[in-house]
Amino acid sequence: MKFRPTSHLLLFLALSVAALGAENRRVVVVVWDGMRPDFVSAETTPHLWQLAQRGVTFAHHHPVFLSATEVNGTALATGAYPSRSFVIANTDYRPAIDAQKSVAIEDPATVSKGDAVTGGHYLGAPTVAELLHAHGERTAIAGTKQIALLQDRAPRSASTATSSVVFEGDTLPADLAAQLTATHGAFPATAKSQDKTARDAWTTQVLIGSLWRDGVPPYSLLWLGEPDASQHATGPGSPQSLASIAQSDTQLGLVVNDLEKRGLLASTDIMVVSDHAFSTIARKVDVAVELSTAGFTAKRAAPGGLKTGEVLVVGNGGSTLIYVGGHDADATRRVIAYLQNQNWTGVIFSREPTEGTFPLVEARINSPAAPDLVVSLRWQHGKNAHGTPGLHTSDLAPTSTRVGNHASLSPYDMHNTLIAAGPHFRVGVTNPLASANTDVAPTILWLLGHRDEAARMDGRVLTEALNANDAPPLRSVNLQRIQAQRSFAGAGVWSQYLQIVEINGVRYLDEGNGTFVPTAK
């Protein structure tokens, strides 16, 4: 879609630029967890639609792979690929943290233990908040989900804290929680099957009512839990999911209105982004059970530690991590051969070079603790009962009640939302170039005047969306499609592909899939 700037929009831009000075620059990021770009409309999301009219719509925005919350929350915070941020999945196996089972990457206990065993380097790259704090600048982070903790996780005391973090009702500093409860009431309880709109409303009020009480800092982030929760429960495009999207739009409207009342809207850049997009589950496959049935010693936990040749399976929805005890080469090769013959396998990435797979580095997931194999499960075009396209396979037990999911290389998971508006952004345009969550952090730092830090990140400053003449230039745009194949004598051929765009050397994964074609009898 394209927007033509009207006279009042041009006047808004002129006033914005005139009002802007280095001393009062600010950026507000609002994350709609799981928001697909095709659900942005004047009817369902009027506030976001209006923001797009006076700003930039990024038509080809991407998450990093795995297209999952913790991976992309970290990418948004650090501007780093998963290989450098160390977060490649929502649920991972970190023996130094827990040698017997997988851990939830965003869990506060995991984060604390991770920093303890790494000397404070649980994340391999600094976050925007941390970099701004080093310059003496204040930030405000408020999230309905625990992922907000990864934005700014350093312990702090109430007497010295100038920047606060709220994550799923908990806080840093810790005693801030009591103040928030007294002011806004208790953080709303919710069952896993329920939506998180009440929690989103509470978190929004905490940001604008308490964290902004003494003024809006240079950088703020609001992380909403919807429409992710509703889409998991009822599928993208369902009435409940559309209602939750409308509620997220309401929260955005409150943020914009608050900035306007404070007289700060003209000098504030606003970025609305999602961590990933979403698919409907067409098929559920318990990968650990499938491997066990095929004769492998496969398990979901490793009591006593993972022994040589054993296979630990860590499901992440549309993708699966596979760890082979002792990195046993023979066991790994046999697992790969088995996967390449299954009709639910999509794309296989391997730690060691193997015929018919891609190396982990192709997806920038070759972190120090990376598994032996990462498997994106099969996806397909097609629509769900609500007319929403995008179907995929998820690593779930058949009894799971989930209807929607993500984390695969499906284009329906790998194309998410980014809309930005404010004094630095062009007005009423659609950006046709590829962009990604890794580009958000360097763009924020560039907008706030910290250009050296922006240049050191894996992502790029989104030059084409800015109205400044001194933004980093666009130098190159490259498209490629890579393939890998393997023939099984007398049985058939496995083939997989990965579609890639690179701009200024920054890599964007468009999609990938695979298939086994049996030999004709």
pLDDT of amino acid 60? 98
Considering the chain, tell me which residue range(s) the CATH 3.40.720.10 domain(s) occupy: 7-85+126-278+413-465
AA letter at 41: S
Beta bridge partners of 477: 503
Closest CA to 302 of 293, 287, 312: 312
pLDDT in tens, 25-55: 999 999 999 999 999 999 999 999 999 999 9
The structure tokens listed for 309 are 């040749």
* Class at the top of the CATH hierarchy for domain 7-85+126-278+413-465: alpha beta
pLDDT of amino acid 520? 81
pLDDT in tens, 482-491: 999 999 998 9
b/e for 467-502, b at 16 or more Cβ within 10 A? eeeebbeeeeeeeeeeebebeeeeebebbbbbbbbe
Residues with Cβ within 8 Å of 269's Cβ and at least 6 positions away in sequence, in order, are: 25, 26, 27, 28, 420, 421, 422, 423, 424, 425, 447
HEC string of 225-279 equals CCCHHHHHHHCCCCHHHHHHHHHHHHHHHHHHHHHHHCCCHHHEEEEEECCCCCE
Give the HSE-up count for residue 353: Cα atoms under 13 Å, Cβ half-sphere: 0
CA–CA dist 497, 292 (Å, integer): 27
pLDDT of amino acid 487? 97
What residue ranges of the chain have pLDDT lower than 70? 1-23, 191-193
Global pTM reads 0.94
pLDDT of amino acid 191? 63
Q: Beta-carbon neighbour count of residue 142 at 10 Å?
A: 27
pLDDT of amino acid 193? 55
pLDDT of amino acid 23? 56
